[in-house]
Chain A
């Protein structure tokens, strides 16, 4: 791609997508920030903990399954 092609692409791009040029938000974002800060962090569902415990128990009872599991991962 020569210099002329590059300039043509640049010109096309600028004509097709005008610069946004920054700007200011249309509203005060602090209230939204406070809401976000006060939101509780997403909790891990109890089902996931139960699944993890079941998997750990299985591996403890059948340690021979660990290499098979690793092979399939």
Chain B
């Protein structure tokens, strides 16, 4: 989230339901909100829809926002909840979209079959564990940042990451792979 926060008058006007203030906040934060969501859902098209959904929730809750607090942190929390709702309602069998970033050079020690099985196992994780594992292990975001976005303690994130690793290992073993 940006270090630069909005001038307080824009935030105050937003609290009173001013559409111009909302547009200013939307335009200055849509990139960061989208960037956060796409990390979680790993689908650019869904991330765009969820960015609009996030700002829709923000607009609905404008009267509850405290203008002395960080708008960016508040938006990220709402974006995380929107992304989590999406993961809960999306079938895990859904294939990843084609417009994902290009894969890094393959590790010669890891076969394509193993990568596919790992990706399959990952999509079967419960959404709460999947978010924690995505942000901590794949995107390598700081634990504090993840905890703030999910509204839980760092300890809870560590537990979720540990459980995600354990479930991934168990699922790979079930598929006959000793990781």
Contacts and interface: CB of A to CB of B under 8 A. Distances in A.
Given A13-B133, A13-B168, A17-B122, A24 B48 contact: no
A60 B166 CA distance: 55
Contact of A15 (B26, B52, B110, B140): B110
Given A16-B115, A30-B26, A33-B52, A22 B38 contact: yes
Nearest to B114: A12
B52 A29 contact: yes
Contacts of B26: 29-30, 33
B118 A16 contact: yes
A17 B44 contact: no
Contacts of B138: 13-14, 17-19
Measured as residues with beta carbon below 8 angstroms from the partner, the interface class of chain A is 20 to 34
Main secondary structure of the interface of B (DSSP, over half): helix
A40 interface: no
Contact of A25 (B42, B48, B106, B168): B48
A23 interface: yes
B34 A23 contact: yes
Given A21-B39, A22-B36, A36-B52, A13 B118 contact: yes
Contacts of B48: 25-27, 29, 32
A37 interface: yes
A15 B104 contact: yes
Interface of B: 19, 23, 26-27, 30-31, 34-36, 38-39, 42, 44, 47-48, 51-52, 55-56, 59, 100-104, 106-107, 110, 114-116, 118-119, 122, 133-134, 137-140, 165-166, 168-169, 179
Interface of A: 1, 5-6, 8-27, 29-30, 32-33, 36-37
25 contacts: A9-B179, A12-B114, A13-B118, A13-B137, A13-B138, A15-B106, A15-B110, A15-B115, A16-B115, A16-B122, A17-B42, A17-B134, A18-B101, A19-B39, A19-B139, A20-B39, A20-B139, A23-B35, A24-B35, A25-B31, A29-B52, A30-B26, A32-B48, A33-B52, A37-B56
